[in-house]
Chain A
Amino acid sequence: DAKTTQPNSMESNEEEPVHLPCNHSTISGTDYIHWYRQLPSQGPEYVIHGLTSNVNNRMASLAIAEDRKSSTLILHRATLRDAAVYYCILRDGGSGNTGKLIFGQGTTLQVKP
Chain B
Amino acid sequence: EPEVTQTPSHQVTQMGQEVILRCVPISNHLYFYWYRQILGQKVEFLVSFYNNEISEKSEIFDDQFSVERPDGSNFTLKIRSTKLEDSAMYFCASQRQGRGTGELFFGEGSRLTVL
Contacts and interface: CB of A to CB of B under 8 A. Distances in A.
B105 A98 contact: no
Interface residues of A, number: 29
A38 B43 contact: yes
Interface of A: 30-32, 34, 36, 38, 42-46, 49, 87, 90-95, 97-106
A100 B33 contact: yes
B99 A102 contact: no
B96 to A, nearest CB: 10
Interface string B83-112: 000000001010101111111111111000
B43 A30 contact: no
Contacts of B45: 100-103
Contact of A44 (B31, B97, B98, B106): B106
Interface of B: 4, 31, 33, 35, 42-45, 48, 50, 55-56, 91, 93, 95, 97-109
Given A36-B104, A98-B50, 7 more contacts: A43-B109, A44-B106, A97-B100, A99-B48, A99-B99, A103-B43, A105-B42
A100 B109 CA distance: 17
11 contacts: A42-B109, A43-B107, A87-B43, A91-B100, A92-B100, A93-B100, A95-B99, A99-B97, A99-B104, A100-B33, A101-B104
Given A43-B107, A44-B43, A46-B103, A98 B98 contact: yes
Contacts of B99: 91-95, 97, 99
A72 B4 CA distance: 28
Contacts of A32: 100-101
* 6 A-B pairs closest in CB distance: A93-B100, A91-B100, A43-B106, A99-B98, A103-B43, A32-B100
A36 B42 CA distance: 13
A35 to B, nearest CB: 11
